[in-house]
């Protein structure tokens, strides 16, 4: 979200995160990806004004792009064990692949 490396979100001022959100929105509008993954709950909450955001798929999309919030993979995030981070990444991976399968092979509707 910001243009520099940091150890924690505490080293980033809220205006930097808001500017990062604006850059992300412009990028999404340009490339129109199906999914965007955001790493870092605190940064996401500040940048998007979603103080209660939880890990997982977000209800708000960015111009039609689905958003998935993941914990920061930083080693400084000792409160989130590696095994749990891996589980969250797998869940995201499955969601992305499921949406691609549905897009390629939509469910068949039977006329009854």
pLDDT for residue 106 is more than 80: no
Tell me the two tokens of residue 108.
Answer: 């068949």
Q: Give the model's pLDDT for residue 73.
A: 82
pLDDT of residue 105 exceeding 80, the answer is: no
In tens, the pLDDT along 13-71 reads: 999 999 999 999 999 999 999 999 999 999 999 999 999 999 999 998 898 999 999 99
Structure tokens at 54: 């939880």
56-84-46-31 Cα dihedral, nearest 10 degrees: -50
Structural domains in the chain, sorted by start:
9-104 (3.40.470.10)
81-98 tens-digit pLDDT: 889 999 999 999 999 998
Q: How far is CA 26 from CA 33, 60, 93, in A?
A: 12, 16, 24
How many Å is the Cα radius of gyration of the chain?
A: 16
Q: Global pTM?
A: 0.81
The backbone region for 91, taken as left when phi is positive above 0, alpha when psi lies in -120 to 50, beta otherwise, is alpha
Select from 68, 64, 35, 65 the least CA-distant residue to 54: 68
């Amino acid at each position: 979200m910001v243009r520099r490396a940091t150890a924690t979100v505490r080293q980033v001022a809220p205006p930097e995160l808001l500017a990062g959100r604006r850059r992300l929105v412009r990028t999404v509008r340009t490339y129109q990806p199906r999914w965007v993954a955001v790493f870092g709950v605190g940064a996401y909450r500040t940048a998007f004004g979603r103080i209660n955001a939880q890990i997982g798929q977000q209800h708000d999309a960015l111009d039609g792009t689905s958003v998935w919030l993941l914990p920061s993979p930083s080693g400084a995030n000792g409160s989130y064990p590696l095994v749990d981070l891996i589980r969250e990444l797998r869940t995201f991976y499955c969601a992305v692949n499921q949406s691609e399968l549905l897009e390629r092979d939509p469910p068949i509707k039977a006329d009854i």
